[in-house]
Protein backbone atom coordinates (compact mmCIF):
# COMPACT_ATOMS: atom_id res chain seq x y z
CA UNK A 1 0.00 0.00 0.00
CA UNK A 2 1.46 3.34 -1.07
CA UNK A 3 0.40 6.61 0.52
CA UNK A 4 -0.10 9.30 -2.12
CA UNK A 5 -1.40 12.00 0.22
CA UNK A 6 -2.96 12.51 3.65
CA UNK A 7 -4.72 15.70 4.70
CA UNK A 8 -6.34 16.65 7.98
CA UNK A 9 -10.06 17.22 7.47
CA UNK A 10 -12.91 17.71 9.98
CA UNK A 11 -10.82 16.21 12.75
CA UNK A 12 -10.01 13.12 10.72
CA UNK A 13 -7.76 12.30 7.77
CA UNK A 14 -8.56 12.30 4.05
CA UNK A 15 -6.05 9.98 2.43
CA UNK A 16 -5.32 8.83 -1.10
CA UNK A 17 -3.60 5.47 -1.53
CA UNK A 18 -2.57 3.11 -4.30
CA UNK A 19 -1.76 -0.58 -4.48
CA UNK A 20 -1.02 -3.29 -7.00
CA UNK A 21 -4.25 -5.08 -7.90
CA UNK A 22 -4.36 -8.75 -8.82
CA UNK A 23 -7.96 -8.34 -10.01
CA UNK A 24 -7.18 -5.69 -12.63
CA UNK A 25 -3.49 -6.35 -13.22
CA UNK A 26 -2.78 -2.65 -12.67
CA UNK A 27 -2.07 -0.21 -9.89
CA UNK A 28 -5.35 1.05 -8.42
CA UNK A 29 -5.93 4.29 -6.54
CA UNK A 30 -8.62 5.00 -3.94
CA UNK A 31 -9.59 7.69 -1.47
CA UNK A 32 -10.28 6.93 2.19
CA UNK A 33 -11.60 9.31 4.83
CA UNK A 34 -11.11 8.21 8.42
CA UNK A 35 -12.91 10.18 11.17
CA UNK A 36 -11.27 11.06 14.46
CA UNK A 37 -12.79 7.96 16.09
CA UNK A 38 -10.52 5.77 13.95
CA UNK A 39 -7.62 6.81 16.17
CA UNK A 40 -9.25 4.88 19.03
CA UNK A 41 -10.63 1.78 17.27
CA UNK A 42 -12.66 0.34 14.41
CA UNK A 43 -15.21 2.59 12.69
CA UNK A 44 -18.18 1.82 10.38
CA UNK A 45 -17.71 2.50 6.68
CA UNK A 46 -19.72 3.88 3.78
CA UNK A 47 -18.63 2.89 0.28
CA UNK A 48 -19.19 5.50 -2.44
CA UNK A 49 -19.01 4.35 -6.08
CA UNK A 50 -18.61 7.05 -8.72
CA UNK A 51 -20.01 7.38 -12.22
CA UNK A 52 -18.88 7.57 -15.83
CA UNK A 53 -15.66 9.51 -16.52
CA UNK A 54 -14.93 9.83 -12.79
CA UNK A 55 -11.89 8.77 -10.78
CA UNK A 56 -11.65 8.31 -7.02
CA UNK A 57 -11.26 12.08 -6.77
CA UNK A 58 -14.60 13.43 -8.03
CA UNK A 59 -16.78 12.58 -5.05
CA UNK A 60 -13.89 12.97 -2.63
CA UNK A 61 -13.54 16.63 -3.68
CA UNK A 62 -17.05 17.62 -4.78
CA UNK A 63 -19.60 15.73 -2.67
CA UNK A 64 -18.85 17.30 0.72
CA UNK A 65 -19.34 13.95 2.42
CA UNK A 66 -16.40 14.20 4.84
CA UNK A 67 -18.04 16.87 6.97
CA UNK A 68 -21.14 14.77 7.57
CA UNK A 69 -19.20 11.52 7.97
CA UNK A 70 -17.01 13.15 10.63
CA UNK A 71 -20.09 14.23 12.60
CA UNK A 72 -21.37 10.65 12.83
CA UNK A 73 -18.00 8.90 13.06
CA UNK A 74 -17.96 6.81 9.89
CA UNK A 75 -15.28 6.20 7.26
CA UNK A 76 -15.74 6.85 3.53
CA UNK A 77 -14.20 4.80 0.73
CA UNK A 78 -13.92 6.25 -2.78
CA UNK A 79 -12.68 3.59 -5.26
CA UNK A 80 -11.73 4.38 -8.84
CA UNK A 81 -14.19 3.48 -11.60
CA UNK A 82 -11.89 1.38 -13.78
CA UNK A 83 -8.32 0.17 -14.30
CA UNK A 84 -6.02 2.69 -15.95
CA UNK A 85 -2.68 2.80 -17.74
CA UNK A 86 -1.05 2.90 -21.15
CA UNK A 87 -1.43 -0.87 -21.59
CA UNK A 88 -5.08 -0.92 -20.49
CA UNK A 89 -7.64 -1.11 -23.32
CA UNK A 90 -9.65 2.03 -23.94
CA UNK A 91 -12.25 3.46 -26.29
CA UNK A 92 -12.72 6.88 -27.86
CA UNK A 93 -16.21 7.11 -26.35
CA UNK A 94 -16.52 8.42 -22.79
CA UNK A 95 -18.91 5.63 -21.78
CA UNK A 96 -16.69 2.63 -22.55
CA UNK A 97 -13.20 1.72 -21.41
CA UNK A 98 -11.17 3.67 -18.89
CA UNK A 99 -13.45 5.58 -16.54
CA UNK A 100 -16.37 3.32 -17.47
CA UNK A 101 -15.83 -0.05 -15.81
CA UNK A 102 -19.55 -0.50 -14.98
CA UNK A 103 -18.61 -2.61 -11.94
CA UNK A 104 -18.62 -5.91 -13.85
CA UNK A 105 -16.05 -8.61 -14.62
CA UNK A 106 -15.44 -8.44 -18.36
CA UNK A 107 -15.35 -11.77 -20.17
CA UNK A 108 -14.71 -10.46 -23.69
CA UNK A 109 -11.43 -9.48 -25.36
CA UNK A 110 -9.72 -7.04 -25.04
CA UNK A 111 -11.45 -6.02 -21.81
CA UNK A 112 -11.22 -9.31 -19.90
CA UNK A 113 -7.56 -8.91 -18.94
CA UNK A 114 -8.04 -5.77 -16.82
CA UNK A 115 -11.71 -4.86 -16.48
CA UNK A 116 -12.62 -6.94 -13.42
CA UNK A 117 -14.13 -4.21 -11.31
CA UNK A 118 -16.71 -6.49 -9.67
CA UNK A 119 -13.98 -8.63 -8.12
CA UNK A 120 -11.94 -5.55 -7.28
CA UNK A 121 -14.72 -3.71 -5.42
CA UNK A 122 -16.39 -6.71 -3.78
CA UNK A 123 -13.36 -8.87 -2.91
CA UNK A 124 -9.88 -7.43 -3.34
CA UNK A 125 -10.24 -3.84 -2.14
CA UNK A 126 -12.29 -4.79 0.96
CA UNK A 127 -9.67 -7.40 1.88
CA UNK A 128 -6.86 -4.86 1.56
CA UNK A 129 -8.75 -2.15 3.45
CA UNK A 130 -9.75 -4.28 6.42
CA UNK A 131 -6.18 -5.49 6.71
CA UNK A 132 -4.56 -2.05 6.56
CA UNK A 133 -7.02 0.37 8.20
CA UNK A 134 -9.23 0.52 11.35
CA UNK A 135 -12.50 -0.22 9.53
CA UNK A 136 -15.22 -2.51 10.87
CA UNK A 137 -16.02 -5.24 8.36
CA UNK A 138 -19.26 -5.94 10.22
CA UNK A 139 -20.58 -2.39 9.72
CA UNK A 140 -20.70 -1.51 6.01
CA UNK A 141 -23.12 0.48 3.85
CA UNK A 142 -22.89 1.47 0.19
CA UNK A 143 -23.90 4.37 -2.05
CA UNK A 144 -23.09 5.73 -5.49
CA UNK A 145 -23.94 8.12 -8.31
CA UNK A 146 -25.11 7.26 -11.84
CA UNK A 147 -22.98 4.30 -12.99
CA UNK A 148 -21.86 4.09 -9.38
CA UNK A 149 -25.47 4.04 -8.23
CA UNK A 150 -25.95 1.06 -10.55
CA UNK A 151 -22.91 -0.57 -8.95
CA UNK A 152 -24.03 0.17 -5.40
CA UNK A 153 -27.51 -1.27 -5.95
CA UNK A 154 -26.41 -4.41 -7.78
CA UNK A 155 -23.62 -5.15 -5.30
CA UNK A 156 -25.88 -4.57 -2.29
CA UNK A 157 -28.53 -6.93 -3.63
CA UNK A 158 -25.95 -9.56 -4.60
CA UNK A 159 -24.36 -9.85 -1.15
CA UNK A 160 -27.17 -10.33 1.38
CA UNK A 161 -26.12 -9.41 4.88
CA UNK A 162 -22.97 -7.53 3.91
CA UNK A 163 -24.41 -4.01 3.75
CA UNK A 164 -26.72 -2.56 6.36
CA UNK A 165 -28.15 0.05 3.97
CA UNK A 166 -27.90 1.18 0.34
CA UNK A 167 -28.53 4.50 -1.36
CA UNK A 168 -28.05 5.98 -4.80
CA UNK A 169 -28.04 9.32 -6.59
CA UNK A 170 -29.54 9.14 -10.11
CA UNK A 171 -28.58 5.49 -10.64
CA UNK A 172 -28.63 3.65 -13.95
CA UNK A 173 -31.66 1.59 -12.96
CA UNK A 174 -32.37 -0.74 -15.88
CA UNK A 175 -29.18 -1.08 -17.97
CA UNK A 176 -30.33 -4.14 -19.92
CA UNK A 177 -33.02 -1.89 -21.45
CA UNK A 178 -30.88 1.24 -21.91
CA UNK A 179 -28.09 2.45 -24.16
CA UNK A 180 -26.21 3.01 -20.87
CA UNK A 181 -25.91 -0.69 -20.29
CA UNK A 182 -26.62 -2.56 -23.49
CA UNK A 183 -23.59 -1.05 -25.20
CA UNK A 184 -21.26 -1.76 -22.28
CA UNK A 185 -22.65 -5.19 -21.40
CA UNK A 186 -22.33 -6.32 -25.01
CA UNK A 187 -18.71 -5.17 -25.07
CA UNK A 188 -17.71 -6.46 -21.64
CA UNK A 189 -19.94 -9.52 -21.20
CA UNK A 190 -20.72 -10.62 -24.76
CA UNK A 191 -23.97 -11.20 -26.66
CA UNK A 192 -25.62 -13.61 -24.20
CA UNK A 193 -28.09 -11.27 -22.54
CA UNK A 194 -28.89 -13.83 -19.85
CA UNK A 195 -25.51 -13.02 -18.32
CA UNK A 196 -26.40 -9.34 -18.11
CA UNK A 197 -29.27 -9.82 -15.66
CA UNK A 198 -26.96 -10.13 -12.64
CA UNK A 199 -25.98 -6.49 -13.19
CA UNK A 200 -29.41 -4.90 -13.59
CA UNK A 201 -30.86 -3.31 -10.44
CA UNK A 202 -34.45 -3.54 -11.68
CA UNK A 203 -34.16 -7.23 -12.47
CA UNK A 204 -32.40 -7.93 -9.17
CA UNK A 205 -35.12 -6.05 -7.31
CA UNK A 206 -37.76 -8.24 -8.92
CA UNK A 207 -35.75 -11.38 -8.15
CA UNK A 208 -34.50 -10.82 -4.61
CA UNK A 209 -34.71 -7.20 -3.38
CA UNK A 210 -32.52 -5.82 -0.60
CA UNK A 211 -32.54 -6.97 3.01
CA UNK A 212 -32.32 -3.49 4.52
CA UNK A 213 -33.31 0.15 4.06
CA UNK A 214 -32.92 1.87 0.68
CA UNK A 215 -32.82 5.55 -0.31
CA UNK A 216 -32.75 6.77 -3.92
CA UNK A 217 -32.77 10.38 -5.09
CA UNK A 218 -33.39 11.32 -8.73
CA UNK A 219 -33.56 14.82 -10.17
CA UNK A 220 -36.57 15.64 -12.33
CA UNK A 221 -34.44 17.82 -14.63
CA UNK A 222 -31.72 15.19 -15.11
CA UNK A 223 -30.54 15.41 -18.70
CA UNK A 224 -30.03 11.61 -18.76
CA UNK A 225 -33.44 10.50 -17.48
CA UNK A 226 -34.21 8.42 -20.59
CA UNK A 227 -30.97 6.48 -20.08
CA UNK A 228 -31.34 6.05 -16.31
CA UNK A 229 -34.92 4.67 -16.41
CA UNK A 230 -35.84 5.39 -12.78
CA UNK A 231 -39.46 4.43 -13.39
CA UNK A 232 -38.40 0.81 -13.98
CA UNK A 233 -36.73 0.45 -10.59
CA UNK A 234 -39.43 2.42 -8.78
CA UNK A 235 -42.03 0.09 -10.27
CA UNK A 236 -40.05 -3.00 -9.28
CA UNK A 237 -39.71 -1.69 -5.72
CA UNK A 238 -43.44 -1.07 -5.49
CA UNK A 239 -44.24 -4.48 -6.98
CA UNK A 240 -41.97 -6.20 -4.47
CA UNK A 241 -43.08 -3.91 -1.62
CA UNK A 242 -39.45 -3.17 -0.93
CA UNK A 243 -38.85 -1.02 2.14
CA UNK A 244 -37.26 2.25 1.14
CA UNK A 245 -37.68 5.71 -0.36
CA UNK A 246 -37.50 6.69 -4.05
CA UNK A 247 -37.57 10.49 -4.19
CA UNK A 248 -37.96 12.60 -7.31
CA UNK A 249 -36.24 15.92 -6.55
CA UNK A 250 -37.84 18.76 -8.50
CA UNK A 251 -35.53 20.78 -10.75
CA UNK A 252 -32.27 18.93 -10.00
CA UNK A 253 -29.99 17.63 -12.74
CA UNK A 254 -27.26 14.95 -12.89
CA UNK A 255 -24.38 17.03 -11.55
CA UNK A 256 -22.48 17.08 -8.27
CA UNK A 257 -24.50 20.15 -7.32
CA UNK A 258 -27.37 17.67 -7.03
CA UNK A 259 -25.28 15.07 -5.19
CA UNK A 260 -23.83 17.54 -2.69
CA UNK A 261 -27.28 18.99 -1.96
CA UNK A 262 -28.56 15.67 -0.62
CA UNK A 263 -25.31 14.16 0.65
CA UNK A 264 -25.97 15.13 4.27
CA UNK A 265 -29.27 13.25 4.19
CA UNK A 266 -27.67 10.17 2.65
CA UNK A 267 -24.85 10.07 5.20
CA UNK A 268 -27.36 10.47 8.04
CA UNK A 269 -29.50 7.71 6.52
CA UNK A 270 -26.54 5.32 6.48
CA UNK A 271 -25.36 6.40 9.92
CA UNK A 272 -28.73 5.40 11.31
CA UNK A 273 -28.18 1.86 10.03
CA UNK A 274 -24.44 1.65 10.78
CA UNK A 275 -24.66 2.97 14.33
CA UNK A 276 -27.84 1.09 15.28
* DSSP letter, residue 48: E
Alpha-carbon separation of residue 273 from 21, 46, 134, 167, 209 (angstroms): 31, 11, 19, 12, 17
Catalytic site residue 165? Answer: no
Catalytic site residue 222? Answer: yes
d(CA 274, CA 65) in angstroms, rounded, equals: 16
Q: Among 56, 150, 199, 254, which one carries the catalytic annotation?
A: 254
Alpha-carbon dihedral sign for residues 193, 171, 115, 198? negative
End-to-end CA separation in angstroms for the chain: 32
Cis? peptide before 53, omega within 30° of 0: no
The neighbouring-strand residues paired with 6 are 15
| 3-state class (DSSP) for residue 2 | strand
Q: 68, 216, 205: which is closest to 148 by C-alpha?
A: 216
* DSSP letter, residue 132: H
Catalytic site residue 146? Answer: yes
Q: Among 146, 165, 167, 178, which one carries the catalytic annotation?
A: 146
Q: Among 167, 222, 266, 270, which one carries the catalytic annotation?
A: 222
User: Contact 221/252 with Cβ under 8 angstroms?
Assistant: yes
Residues annotated as part of the active site: 146, 222, 254
Amino acid sequence: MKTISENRAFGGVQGVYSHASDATGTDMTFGLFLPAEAEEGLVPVLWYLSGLTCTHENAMVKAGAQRWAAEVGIALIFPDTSPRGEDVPNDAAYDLGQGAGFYVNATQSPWDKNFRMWDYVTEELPRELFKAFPIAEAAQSISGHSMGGHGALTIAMSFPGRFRSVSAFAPICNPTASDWGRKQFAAYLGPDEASWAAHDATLLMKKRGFDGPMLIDQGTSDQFLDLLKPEALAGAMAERRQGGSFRMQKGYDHSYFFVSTFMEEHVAFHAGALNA
